[in-house]
Structure formats: C-alpha cells, structure tokens
Amino acid sequence: MMAMYWAFVILTLAVVGHQSQADSRTPRKPRQTESDQPNIIMILADDMGYGDIASYGHPTQEYGPVDVMAENGLRFTQAYSSDSVCSPSRAALLTGRLPVRLGVWGETHRVFLPWLTTGLPRSETTIAEALKMQNYTTGMVGKWHLGINQNTKTDGFHLPTNHGFDFVGHIIPFGGSYSCDNTGRYDNTPDPTKCFLYYRDEIVQQPYYQENLTTLFVNDTVDFIRRNKDGPFFYYFAMMHPHAPLFSSAQFKGSSARGAYGDNINELSWAVGTIIKELEELEIAEDTLVVFMSDHGPHLEYCLDAGDPGIFRADKTPEEFADVCLPAGYPSGHYFDCNKKSVSEECVTEHDPPLIFDLHADPTESWPLDPSKFDALIESVQNLISDHEAGLIRAPPLMDTENRDMIPCCNETTNCYCNYP
Ligand SMILES: *[C@@H]1O[C@H](CO)[C@@H](O)[C@H](O)[C@H]1NC(C)=O
Ligand SMILES: *[C@@H]1O[C@H](CO)[C@@H](O)[C@H](O)[C@H]1NC(C)=O
Ligand SMILES: *[C@@H]1O[C@H](CO)[C@@H](O)[C@H](O)[C@H]1NC(C)=O
Ligand SMILES: *[C@@H]1O[C@H](CO)[C@@H](O)[C@H](O)[C@H]1NC(C)=O
C-alpha cells in the first residue's frame, strides 16, 4: 500500500474480560448490564513509541504490568493514529472524526496553545457525550490539550466539563514540555504561562510541580472507579508519561536500566497495573474493557529523552518542520513521504507513481515493490482517495486565532504563581 505522508502510530493493547485468578472467591452476581454495557477505560500514553515496552521488543526496558496486560489481552499491532501531534490526534480519538473535518489544524500552529481562543468545537460529539446518552457516567484525568478559554482568561469554555465529562479530576489543559520542568535542569523553567494544573475548571497550581502528577491522576482514577463500580462508566486517563521532560515520582526515579525514559515507562506501567488491580479487587475486571494506546509516535529529535519506534520508520512529526512536512491545507491526490533524515525542503518527497509495500512481509517499509505490476491496485487506491476527497469538507483552521489575554492566570497579584493543595 502507499506510504503514509506522516509517520506515526503506535501501540494499542486491550484487556477484554481480564481473567480473575481468584477461583476460590464467591462468584459475583452478574450486573444487569453486563453483556451490553461494559465499563470502558481508555488510557493514553503521550509520545510513546511502538518499541518502548518489553513485550513489544525493547531490549532494556523492565517487564511490567503493561506487559502483563498485553500478554493477557488483545494486541492491536496495526492501528493508526489520525495525526502525528497531540491536539489533532486527541481530537480524532475523542470524536472519531478526521482532524481536518473538525478544524483541528492550522497554518501557523498544529496544537492548541494557551494563548489561542479556540479548542475542540463544542458542537462535535465526543465519545463521552455519546456514552452519556447511553447512561454511562463519564470521567477523565490528565492531559487535555484541546483548548482552554475563549473570551476571558477564566471562562474555561473549551475544558472537558463542556465536552461530556461528568467527573473531571486533576488535568493539565495545555500539555507537557521542557518549559514545565521544575527540577532546575533548565533556565527559566517552569514557565507559569504554560504550566497549569487544574482540578475540574479551576487552577490549583501554577506552574505545576510535575513529580507527583501521576500519583495524583491515579488517585483520582481509583476514587472514580470505586464511586462508580456499579457502572456503566467511561473513563479517559490521558497520561503525561513518557513525554519529555521525563519527570517521575521519587518511587520510580532510577528504577530503570534504561534511564529517565525507562523510569517513565515503569511509572506508566505501574499506573496501568494499579488500575487493573483495582478493577480486580472490586470484581469488575470482567465487565471492563481497558484500552491502552499511545497518541502517536515518539519525538526522536529529543534523542535519549525520546521513545523508540521499534521496527517502524520515523516518528512524531516535529512541529518546527510542520510547514515543510505537511504542506499547507493538506493537499492530496499526490503521494508524499515525510523523510526526516533530511531537515529542509527535501524533507518531503513526492512519489509518482506511489511507493508500494507489502506490509505483511515488510512492515518496516524498506522494500518498495515494482509499481508497474500494480496498476489495478494503484487505480483502486486512487479511486478511494478521489471518493474521500469528494466527500471531505475541510473545516476552517482553528489554530491561528491568538489572544494573549486568554492565558490562564490564577492570581494577578502573585504574577500567576499559586499553590492551593
Ligand atoms: C437509560 O436510562 C433511561 C432512564 O432510566 C432508560 O429509559 C433507558 O432505556 C436507558 N438507556 C440504556 C441504553 O440503557
Ligand atoms: C511528592 O510526594 C512526596 C511523597 O508523598 C512528598 O514528600 C513531596 O513533597 C511531594 N512533592 C510535591 C512537589 O508535592
Ligand atoms: C494518593 O493517595 C494516597 C493514599 O490515599 C496518599 O497517601 C497520597 O499522598 C496521594 N498522593 C497524591 C499525590 O495525592
Ligand atoms: C492572590 O494573592 C494574594 C497575595 O498572596 C492574596 O492576598 C489573594 O487572596 C489572592 N487572591 C485570590 C483570588 O486567591
């Protein structure tokens, strides 16, 4: 098939009907809704690569609960993310729609920034809203990255409470980055204009202290599961791990032979394991679908701070090359290869005829087949693309509307520094 013009996707695992080991336990009375309304927990890793965990082949990463989940569950080894950066990938995940249809794209930026007035359009139906209509209780915690304010710096217009989430615990509405590091490793960090910890719609810490975030998120999650154990519930846990700058709590610092990145994976894995253990203890594991995946590929430009794509080529498209790698307006009808080995105009190579690979025999896309033998295939792919184009309505880009007055500030008199534990 054709080479995609951005390189991404990563890892999806699922536990379906995770087996309880305690055969000696008294059998639980099945819930009325058991067969048709499972609880759903969606756990999203941030910038994690396909090759980042032991059970996906990483040579030095410690084996952990996420690997146990992979071995007991179903592994989806050929799933594709809708985009190579956070906001569009998450927008697509929550709505099931392509980012260009949502307007979650831009000429100047590719992710929502705290000084944009836009976010995931409230007119879109999220998975949380859809499940609420089916009587699910919904909740989320962690990284949002789909917009904050619209008209004032406190209106929280785009926050998850306005997108169908009943419970919203501790969230990071913007995202993680080096500018939020608070360990003293970098100059001028943490930057209070980028690093906010909210609880529901209110800032509770600005800039946030990163080290205990994962414990905080897991605490919220366990509480939510206990409160809603009678189900059905939908819960979205968007982790900060293993996005740079690779903070971890004291318990996991130095836990990995692989270094700080490995510590991150170990903490992430612990979080997944804690959630599954809680489900087992409440005896609802068999009524709960747990999905673990990454938002897209690893950020290889960060070198040792980045994940591992495993056998796959390339990674998360670096934002600084975005204009080069993704020509404005997402042109189509051509075949592009975003080859990041050359940083510059050569970054994008157009292929006509397209490169054709046998993904079963050659998942690494190393051996293009002779296109002259695939006329019928090329024609049918071309028809699919034309049909798609004909039905595609591109929403105007939302990421180009800046207003610095929208940057959240918990308290003007303290220069936006707050810590309300
Ligand atoms: C949701 O709850 C309402 C009110 O109890 C009920 O009428 C409806 O059938 C429920 N829907 C589903 C999908 O269970
Ligand atoms: C993180 O948690 C540890 C253990 O509970 C605590 O000692 C430490 O003060 C916390 N750090 C921050 C910044 O809250
Ligand atoms: C999480 O909950 C545990 C147990 O209640 C508590 O000891 C710990 O301090 C909490 N951690 C954070 C970061 O709130
Ligand atoms: C802002 O900070 C000042 C100084 O610490 C404090 O007196 C005031 O109560 C704070 N305002 C709010 C709304 O928290």
DSSP string computed for 190-253:
S-TTT--EEETTEEEEESPP-TTHHHHHHHHHHHHHHHTTTS-EEEEEE--TTSTT----TTTT
Q: What is the pLDDT of residues 377-406, one digit of tens each?
A: 999 999 999 999 999 999 999 998 999 999
Q: How far apart are CA 168 and CA 159, in angstroms?
A: 9
pLDDT band at 25 (very low <50, low <70, confident <90, very high): very low
Q: What is the pLDDT of residues 238-296, one digit of tens each?
A: 999 999 999 999 999 999 999 999 999 999 999 999 999 999 999 999 999 999 999 99
Q: Is the pLDDT of residue 177 over 80?
A: yes
Q: Which residue has the higher pLDDT, 185 or 198?
A: 198
Q: How far apart are CA 312 and CA 21, in angstroms?
A: 36
CA atoms within 13 A on the CB side of 211: 8
Please give the distance, rounded to the nearest whole angstrom, from the Cα atom of residue 159 to the centre of ligand 1: 27
Can you tell me which atom of ligand 4 is nearest the CA of 411? 1
Please give the distance, rounded to the nearest whole angstrom, from the Cα atom of residue 212 to the centre of ligand 2: 6
Mean pLDDT of the chain: 86
Q: Does the beta carbon of 108 lie inside 6 Å of ligand 2? A: no
Name the residue of 197, 215, 225, 275 whose CB sits within 8 Å of the most ligand 3 atoms, as the mutation to test its pocket. 215
Please give the distance, rounded to the nearest whole angstrom, from the Cα atom of residue 334 to the centre of ligand 3: 53
pLDDT of residue 351: 84
The residues annotated as belonging to the active site are: 86, 145
Please give the distance, rounded to the nearest whole angstrom, from the Cα atom of residue 219 to the centre of ligand 3: 6
% of the chain at pLDDT higher than 90: 71
Name the residue ranges covered by the structural domains of the chain.
39-312+404-414
Q: Does the beta carbon of 201 lie inside 6 Å of ligand 2? A: no
Token pair for 353: 């005829």
Q: Does the beta carbon of 212 lie inside 6 Å of ligand 2? A: yes
Answer yes or no: are the C-beta atoms of 221 and 141 closer than 8 Å.
Answer: yes
Token pair for 160: 């998850």
Collapsing DSSP states into helix, strand and coil, what is residue 305?
helix
pLDDT band at 9 (very low <50, low <70, confident <90, very high): very low
Mean pLDDT for the stretch of residues 185-210? 95
Q: How far apart are CA 374 and CA 368, in angstroms?
A: 12
Q: How far apart are CA 42 and CA 5, in angstroms?
A: 27
pLDDT band at 35 (very low <50, low <70, confident <90, very high): low
Q: Is the pLDDT of residue 329 over 50?
A: no
Compute and round to an integer the Cα radius of gyration of the chain: 22
Q: Does the beta carbon of 197 lie inside 6 Å of ligand 3? A: no
Phi, psi of 61 (to 5 degrees): -65, 135
Least confident of 73-82, 348-357, 373-382, 407-416: 348-357
Q: Is 70 exposed, middle or buried (0-12, 13-18, 19+ CB in 10 A)?
A: buried
pLDDT band at 31 (very low <50, low <70, confident <90, very high): low
Q: Does the beta carbon of 344 lie inside 6 Å of ligand 4? A: no
Q: Which CATH class is domain 39-312+404-414?
A: alpha beta
Collapsing DSSP states into helix, strand and coil, what is residue 93?
helix
Name the residue of 135, 138, 230 whose CB sits within 8 Å of the most ligand 1 atoms, as the mutation to test its pocket. 135
- Which helix (DSSP H) or strand (DSSP E) does residue 138 occupy? strand 137-143
Residues β-bridged to residue 15: 290
Q: Does the beta carbon of 255 lie inside 6 Å of ligand 2? A: no
Please give the distance, rounded to the nearest whole angstrom, from the Cα atom of residue 188 to the centre of ligand 4: 24
Q: Is the pLDDT of residue 235 over 90?
A: yes
Which residues, 6+ apart, have CB-to-CB distance to 127 below 8 Å? 42, 93, 94, 95, 96, 164, 234, 236
- Shortest-distance ligand to the CA of residue 208: 2
Token pair for 298: 């690893």
Q: Does the beta carbon of 411 lie inside 6 Å of ligand 4? A: yes
pLDDT of residue 15: 36
What single-letter DSSP state applies at residue 346? G
Q: How far apart are CA 176 and CA 114, in angstroms?
A: 12
